[in-house]
Amino acid sequence: MGDLARLLKESWSLVEEHQDKVAGYFYAKIFLAHPHLRELFPMHMDVQRSRLLNALVTAVQTLEDPERFDEYLRALGRDHRKFHVEPEHYEVVGGALIEAMRHYAGEQWSIEFDQAWADAYAAIAAKMLAGAEADTNPPYWYAEVTAHERRAQDIAVFTVLPMQPLEFRAGQYLSIEYPRAQPRLWRTYSVANAARRDNTLEFHVRAVGAGWVSSALVRRLQAGDMIKLAAPMGTMGLDRRSTRDAVFVAGGTGLAPVKSMLEELTRYNRTRWVHVFFGARNRDDLYDLPELNRLSARYPWLSVVTACSEDPSFPGEQGNISDVVGRYGPWNEHDFFVSGSGAMVKATLKTLAELQVPALRVKYDAFN
């Protein structure tokens, strides 16, 4: 490990157990010195309080793998245009980050730590600024909701039509803001279709806990409403050059990017067998199963396996989908795509590692 990476990890360990306090100090420093920046942030800061700080720390600590994260940081810079972030704001945020950490590290903080975080943050900011400056698209797109359907108690599927063309790749995700219900609060959701001639986009959303945005999108959003869409991100896409058969593992509304890639495959695939494993807690949460069955009936190369973890009378597979996929196979010659909650993705990656599936053949986007 290089000296920079070592210094970053050592210094972060000094304040890691005080993350909430560091985040509070971080925002207080920004808002007291620059009150006008408060309007760039959501009214409710309970979730946002740790979100930006954690993103900054994670980005800084990934510098030891620059090639992997170069495009990610450039995409992050493009995405942050939706917040009306200007170049001078990067300096403000960097200064507040270092001062908050210095404050809670106390006497153990050193000049070397100060310089390490300043150098790392400068490199991150430069990549993000380059991505933002190179983007010729608008900072966000307005889109009208053309259809909204409740598929389960806490799941909705809705379709939107952007006011301007929005280019994306099957499997990507983007951030959504619902200004009428939760202004300035953005959350990421995967597009559930491949690019269409009518430019519409479909989203699958589950209302989670105290989720301000997800609850509003499921329970309050209706046809005719306007939402905002940010720049597409993510690398979980299909490689048309691959001749290997494919396996998609989806948990709950993690089915969305899988549907997007399946729709793309229906346009050109003739030679690859495709297996979909779709899991949920109960049969009601298998909200898009009729459409999956329709696709598998139409395309002979597609097979679908469903599982429920909390529905003993369900006639399909029983258990977590991460375990169910291990009952089939062998899979060591397949491309894998995994999508779902953080816990589901982690469990599936563990299963695939135990099955000796090469990590280079496994794609996923982790939102948490």
pLDDT of 269 strictly over 90: yes
Tell me the average pLDDT across 263-270.
95
- Top pLDDT among 136 and 48 is at 136
Share of the chain above pLDDT 90, in %: 63
Q: Identify which of 38-47, 151-160, 229-238 has the greatest average pLDDT.
A: 151-160
Tell me the average pLDDT across 26-30.
89
Please give the Cα distance from 101 to 21 (Å, whole number).
10
CA 261, 266, 270, 276 torsion-angle sign: positive
pLDDT in tens, 178-214: 999 888 888 999 999 999 999 999 999 999 876 789 9
Q: Which of 5, 102, 105 is nearest to 61 (CA)?
A: 5
Task: Please give the single-letter amino acid code of residue 314.
Answer: F
- Provide the CA 301 distance to its chain's centre, in angstroms: 29
- CB–CB of 149/156 below 8 Å? yes
Tell me the average pLDDT across 231-260.
94
Task: Please give the single-letter amino acid code of residue 229.
Answer: L
Q: What is the pLDDT of residue 43?
A: 64
Q: Which of 217, 149, 147 is nearest to 180 (CA)?
A: 217
pLDDT in tens, 71-126: 778 888 888 888 888 888 889 989 998 999 999 999 999 999 999 999 988 988 89
- Top pLDDT among 28 and 200 is at 200
- CB–CB of 135/78 below 8 Å? yes
pLDDT in tens, 292-316: 999 999 999 999 999 999 999 999 9
Q: How confident is the model at residue 1 (pLDDT cuts 50, 70, 90)?
A: very low
Q: What is the pLDDT of residue 37?
A: 84
pLDDT of 325 strictly over 70: yes
Peptide bond into 330 cis (omega under 30): yes
pLDDT of 160 strictly over 50: yes
pLDDT of 61 strictly over 80: no
Q: What is the pLDDT of residue 40?
A: 73
Please give the Cα distance from 44 to 201 (Å, whole number).
28
pLDDT of 22 strictly over 70: yes
Please give the Cα distance from 276 to 208 (Å, whole number).
24
pLDDT of 132 strictly over 50: yes
Tell me the average pLDDT across 170-175.
95
pLDDT of 365 strictly over 50: yes
- Taking the CA atoms of residue 21, residue 23, residue 26 and residue 28 in that order, the dihedral angle to the nearest 10 degrees is -70
- CB–CB of 256/347 below 8 Å? no
Share of the chain above pLDDT 70, in %: 91
Q: How confident is the model at residue 38 (pLDDT cuts 50, 70, 90)?
A: confident
| End-to-end Cα separation, the chain, in angstroms | 26
